[in-house]
Amino acid sequence: MKKILFLILFFQSCLFAQTNFDKMNKLYKSYPDFIDSASNNTIYFKDGSTMQFDDGVEKDYETMLDNPDIEDMLSMKYTPGSEWDSPPPKNFEPGRIRNEDFFAKMYGGSAKEVESNLVGIKWMPKSTNATVMITRVNGVDKKLKEVSDELDALPENLKKYVTTTAGTFNWRPIAGTNRMSMHSYGVAIDINTKYSDYWQWNKSMKYVNRIPMEIVEIFEKHGFIWGGKWYHYDTMHFEYRPELLP
Ligand SMILES: [Zn+2]
Q: Is the peptide bond before 89 cis (omega within 30 degrees of 0)?
A: no
- Determine phi and psi for 18, rounding to 5 degrees: -65, -45
Q: 6 pLDDT exceeds 90?
A: no
98: nearest Cα among 227, 191, 218:
227
Output the CA 108–ligand 1 centroid distance in Å. 18
Output the CA 6–ligand 1 centroid distance in Å. 48
Output the CA 188–ligand 1 centroid distance in Å. 6
Label residue 157 by pLDDT band (50, 70, 90): very high
pLDDT for 150: 98
| C-alpha of 235 from chain center | 13
Output the CA 16–ligand 1 centroid distance in Å. 33
pTM recorded for the entire structure: 0.92
Output the CA 19–ligand 1 centroid distance in Å. 30
- The mean pLDDT of 210-232, rounded to a whole number, is 98
pLDDT for 77: 95
How many Å apart are CA 145 and CA 77, to the nearest integer?
A: 26
Q: Give the residue extent of every domain in the chain.
A: 110-244
How many Å apart are CA 157 and CA 136, to the nearest integer?
A: 31
Label residue 55 by pLDDT band (50, 70, 90): very high
Output the CA 189–ligand 1 centroid distance in Å. 6
Output the CA 236–ligand 1 centroid distance in Å. 6
How many Å apart are CA 125 and CA 148, to the nearest integer?
A: 8
pLDDT for 194: 97
Q: Which CATH architecture has domain 110-244?
A: 2-Layer Sandwich (3.30)
pLDDT for 14: 55
